[in-house]
Structure formats: C-alpha cells, structure tokens
Amino acid sequence: MGSMFIFSLLAGLAISVLLIPFSHTVKSEKEGKKMGTGIMAGTIIITVLLVFAFYYLSHLDRNLTSLWPIAIIASLGGAVLAAGKERMIKAVLFLGSLIVGIFFLTAFLFNADEKYESAKMKEKTEIETFDETETPASVPPQFARNKMKKAFGQVPNTSYYELGSLQIQKINGEYVYIAPVEFSGFFKWWNGNKTPGYFTISSTDSSANPKFIKSDMVYTPSSYFNKNIERHMRMQYPQQVFYGDVQLEVDDKGKPYYIRSFGEFISARNGFDVQGIVMVDPMSGKTKAYKLADVPAFIDGAVSPEAVSLQNSYYGNYIHGFWNSKFGKTDVRLPSDEGTEANVSPIFDENGDMYYFTDFTSPKEGVDSMLGYSLTNSRTGEATFFTGNLEESYMDSQGALQIIEKKFIEKKWSGEMPVLYNFYGEASWLTPVLDANGFLQNYFIVSAANPEISVYGSTPNDALRLYKTALQRGGGTVDGSSKAEEKQTSGTVLRVYKEKSGDFTVVSFLLDNRQSYVVSSETVPMAIYLQEDDLVNVNYLDTGEAFLSVKEMAIKGLE
C-alpha cells in the first residue's frame, strides 16, 4: 500500500504542476497570496486523491506510460488557465503528450506484424489418432455447474455464498472441474470474512457427483478492499502487466491457490505476450511470481485462456498485416468463438498435459468450412496449428452445432463444447448435447469431412462404438488406434444383444473366450440372425476396447 501512496503523491504533484496557473496574478497581492496557496493545496489534495482512487479501483498497472490520458487533460487545462511564457511551455507539453497519446492509440495499426510473430505457431497436418482405451474429458461445463449448484447445500452458511467460475484441471491423475465458493455480496463478505472452500466434479464421468472440499480462503475475487485477490496481486506487483481473469488451481494435496498470467505489451501499451504467473495463497495472502519455465508442476492453466484467445486472433488475422485483416483478407483465418473459456476449450492429451483447442474458419459469411485448428500448451504457451487433410474440406465447429440443432429440433436440444478428435483415422467432432435446462442428454459424433456420418450415445465410449460401425458402413476409414491390428478368432456365442441404429441393427455378442464384439448388419447382414450357442469365425480389429469391432463374420450353418 505504501508504494500506492507514493505513486499517487508523485503523480498528483505532477498533474497539479500542469494544472495550476503560476503566472496568474490578482489585483490584491495579499489576497493573491492567500488564494494562490489555497488553490495549490486544494488542487494537490484533489488530484492525489483522484489518482489514488482511480488506480485503487481499476487495478491498472502503475507504470508512467499509464498516465498518458491524464497528462493530455492536465496539460491542456494548464495551457488554457496559464498566461505568457507558462502558457507556451504547457502548450508544448500538451502537444507532446497528445503525440504520445496518438501513438499509443494508433499502435494497433503498425504492430500487427509483431503480434503475428509473437503468436506464430508450428504447423502440422493432423493430430494423432485417439487411443480408444482413454476417455475424453467431455462433460460440458454447464452440466457440471448445474450439478454443483444442486449440491450447494453441502456448504455451511449457504446463504452467504454463490458458485464461482468453473475451470478444468488434473488433480492426482484425475481430470476434474473445480469451482470456488464465492461471497454473494458486500455485506455477506463483511460478516463472513472468508469463504469455506471449493467444489470438484469429474470432467470425464457424467454420472459422478460433485464433492465439496473444505479449505478457507480470505483473498478471493468476491472479497472487497485489500482482500480482493486482483487488488492484492496488484499491490504486490504494481508494475506488472496482467491479462485474463484470476483462476483457481489446486495442488495434489487439495490446497487451493489463485493464479493470474502476466506478460508485456507488444509495443506502446498495445498487444500482450505472456511471460509467467503470479500465484497467491488465498488464506495467508503469500504471493510469488514465476516465469512460465518455472511454474509449479501442479498448475495446469499457467497461460490464461484469454491470452490464448488473443494469440489465436493475432495468428489468424495478421498473417499479412493489419490492413489485410480488414479489407483484402488474403489467407485470413478467424478463430472460432465456440470454446468454453474465453473462446477456447481446454482438453488433455494422452500424457495428461492440458491444451487449449480452437478451430479456425473462413472470414466469408455463410461458410462453415474449417481452415485448420490449433492446440496451445496451457503451461508453456507453445502452439501448433493443424491444417487438416488439405485434400478434404472439413466442417467447422459451428457447422457441427448446426447439425445437432437440426437433429434434435423437436426436442430443442443443443450442443456445447465441440472438440475435434482423430477417431479411427477420421477427423471427427465430439459434442455433448444438452436439453433446454442444461442437463446432459447424449454425446454426438459427426465426421468433419463427411457430415452425413454421425451417431450419438449415452456416453462418449458408447458413441465411439457406434461411430466405428457407422464409419464402416459409410465408407469412412477405420484405422483404430495406432496399436490396432486385424486378427481372427472363433468360438461359441454366450450372449447376444441387438439394438436398432437407423436403418441397420447393431449386434453385440460375447464369445466363450470372454471377449465382447460388435458388428453392424450393414457390414454383416446375416448378423441379425445371430443367437446364443452359434459357432462363429470372426475377423476383428484389436483396439484394446471392451467391445472389438468386427470386420467380417461367418456363422456356422448360415454360410
């Protein structure tokens, strides 16, 4: 707080010098002295208080360059009020501050190339094939939030609090959503002083229930005065340039911390390039800054989603400079706004590393063709742009959502959080489907290159199983995972389950080798007659899944 007072005092004095007309005289010398002293003292007090209030309330960085709008107004006012040589000096100062202000305001016209270079990505063709033994983090945040709200009765003194912002992370090897409990107003903060903890819920299992974790927090986003977490960070790091909201991160022992990304301007207080984080213990207020390379291992979202969204915008828009992004738009690719956090969607790879996913589309209106997609490492900020198969035209996330809307138009269901995966060698959109109340109904998968191939199931793995069958009958590629190979087996059928899927029947069966298989009547028409105790010869893909996909099958006695 001391540095805040010093900054306000120095800035206030400088503004007062610009404003006070020292050359002004009055008829009565005695009266003039009294009036001059009173004006000076009053001006200094008012300006110091105004500067202090502005920076205290706005949380703006306290660098000298942040004073440029005030310098313009103060020097203009001083030039108008002054006379003679003082007016000329202050007019020159006004002209200089005006030039600086114009430079800051127009910097975006000239630093587009620098922004593009700061956001430049490595390029690849496709992401690797999804491993069927894994479960994608596919519980939509709206659904998770609804379940947390219904479990809010676990919170002591419930009326004092409300649910805070939701974010995803990995804790002890499990992928979960976390959301802090926040104060619901000023008087609740005044009486409560600290929040009681946070909620967690699985981001991969839609049937899981939320858990409330007790962990007192004093410095929070919903606290006031010096206990407000953003103000506390600013007080500790007055000159640091922050970008993005504060986020809650939990270590493997369940201890919560608030973090926020910091960095530097690209040029002239314009643009942003992330450099590290500030981390705060919300109970003690202990604060520490880390460069991105030194961020603690338990922190998944060191780079804020807002910073990633900004970098995506630089990369997609400024490939040929600012003016091309507005007029010619040659090679311009617009990042999608369908993400779950600041227009990006957090996902995890097979190694448990978190990335922000964004698809890019054409700037031309009415076109839902995808021009590529990016994955940005949430700890390092390193990004890769995937062009996709250039011989095929991929549908973007908006197109996938429109298909879902038309598919369930009578029920008024909609998709949320579309993410592109490489399922069985086919670029595919996996999207949770929610009803009008925000409750999860199913998971929808549609091919990005062949939108006529689509399925939905009650779980991601159910949908994947149906999708594999749909690809087989639809002419798509079914490569399985990188470990998959075609094998043969034979045996006696122990159990059979049949279900209708469009115009065909999907048959699941268990052999006496205790392995389950799945086949579509489109692939093997005679499969509709399969029954227990039949002897079969099966060609299948060994993907390691619970249900292995059958490519060919012969039923003894029905050949």
Domain that holds residue 411: 394-474
Q: Is residue 217 part of a domain?
A: no
Q: Is residue 95 part of a domain?
A: yes
Q: Within this chain, do residues 524 and 426 fall inside the same structural domain, yes or no?
A: no
The first and second tokens of residue 132, run together, are 């069927």
For the stretch 187-202, pLDDT in tens is: 999 999 999 999 999 9
- The alpha carbon of residue 99 and the mean position of all alpha carbons in its chain are separated, in whole angstroms, by 37
The pLDDT of residue 368: 75
Q: Within this chain, do residues 462 and 504 fall inside the same structural domain, yes or no?
A: no
Q: Within this chain, do residues 32 and 15 fall inside the same structural domain, yes or no?
A: yes
Q: Within this chain, do residues 17 and 46 fall inside the same structural domain, yes or no?
A: yes
- Report the 10 Å Cβ neighbour count for 149: 14
What is the phi/psi pair of residue 189, to 5°? -65, -40
Give percent above pLDDT 70 in the chain: 94
Distance separating alpha carbons of residues 419 and 338, to the nearest angstrom: 10
Q: Is residue 186 part of a domain?
A: no
Q: pLDDT class for 480, splitting at 50, 70, 90?
A: very low
Identify the domain boundary among 446, 474, 502.
Answer: 474
Out of 133-147, 276-290, 404-418, least confident range: 133-147
The pLDDT of residue 482: 41
Higher pLDDT pick, 500 / 444:
444
Q: Is residue 158 part of a domain?
A: no
Q: Within this chain, do residues 434 and 404 fall inside the same structural domain, yes or no?
A: yes
Distance separating alpha carbons of residues 150 and 236, to the nearest angstrom: 37
For the stretch 139-168, pLDDT in tens is: 999 999 999 999 999 999 999 999 999 999
Q: Within this chain, do residues 458 and 520 fall inside the same structural domain, yes or no?
A: no
Q: Alpha helices, DSSP H only, in 213-359?
A: 229-236, 305-317, 322-326
The pLDDT of residue 374: 96
Query: Average pLDDT of 299-327?
Result: 96
- The alpha carbon of residue 465 and the mean position of all alpha carbons in its chain are separated, in whole angstroms, by 29
The pLDDT of residue 522: 76
The pLDDT of residue 472: 67
Q: Within this chain, do residues 469 and 543 fall inside the same structural domain, yes or no?
A: no
For the stretch 105-145, pLDDT in tens is: 999 999 999 999 999 999 998 888 776 666 676 799 999 99
Coil, helix or strand at residue 285: coil
Task: Give one word for 376, left, alpha or beta, with left for phi > 0 and alpha for psi -120 to 50.
Answer: beta
Q: Is residue 551 part of a domain?
A: yes
Asked if 445 contacts 373 with a C-beta cutoff of 8 angstroms, the reply is: no
Q: Within this chain, do residues 417 and 506 fall inside the same structural domain, yes or no?
A: no
Task: Give one word for 320, left, alpha or beta, with left for phi > 0 and alpha for psi -120 to 50.
Answer: alpha
Q: Is residue 451 part of a domain?
A: yes
The pLDDT of residue 101: 96
Asked if 491 contacts 535 with a C-beta cutoff of 8 angstroms, the reply is: yes
The pLDDT of residue 10: 94
The pLDDT of residue 36: 64
The pLDDT of residue 511: 96
Q: Within this chain, do residues 323 and 426 fall inside the same structural domain, yes or no?
A: no
The pLDDT of residue 223: 97
Identify the domain boundary among 331, 351, 386.
Answer: 386
Domains of the chain: total: 4
Q: Within this chain, do residues 14 and 99 fall inside the same structural domain, yes or no?
A: yes
Identify the domain boundary among 351, 386, 421.
Answer: 386
Q: pLDDT class for 352, splitting at 50, 70, 90?
A: confident
Q: Within this chain, do residues 7 and 90 fall inside the same structural domain, yes or no?
A: yes
Q: Is residue 169 part of a domain?
A: no
Q: Read off the pTM.
A: 0.85
User: Which stretch of DSSP H or E encloses residue 369?
Assistant: strand 369-377
The pLDDT of residue 478: 53
What is the phi/psi pair of residue 510, to 5°? -115, 125
Q: Is residue 12 part of a domain?
A: yes
Long-range contacts of 384-387 (CB under 8 A, 24+ apart): 384/121, 384/122, 384/123, 384/124, 385/121, 385/122, 385/123, 385/124, 385/315, 385/360, 386/123, 386/124, 386/125, 386/126, 386/127, 387/123, 387/124, 387/125
Query: Average pLDDT of 259-274?
Result: 96
CATH of the domain at 515: 2.40.50.140
Q: Within this chain, do residues 85 and 11 fall inside the same structural domain, yes or no?
A: yes
For the stretch 353-409, pLDDT in tens is: 999 999 999 998 777 789 999 999 999 999 999 998 877 889 999 999 999 999 999
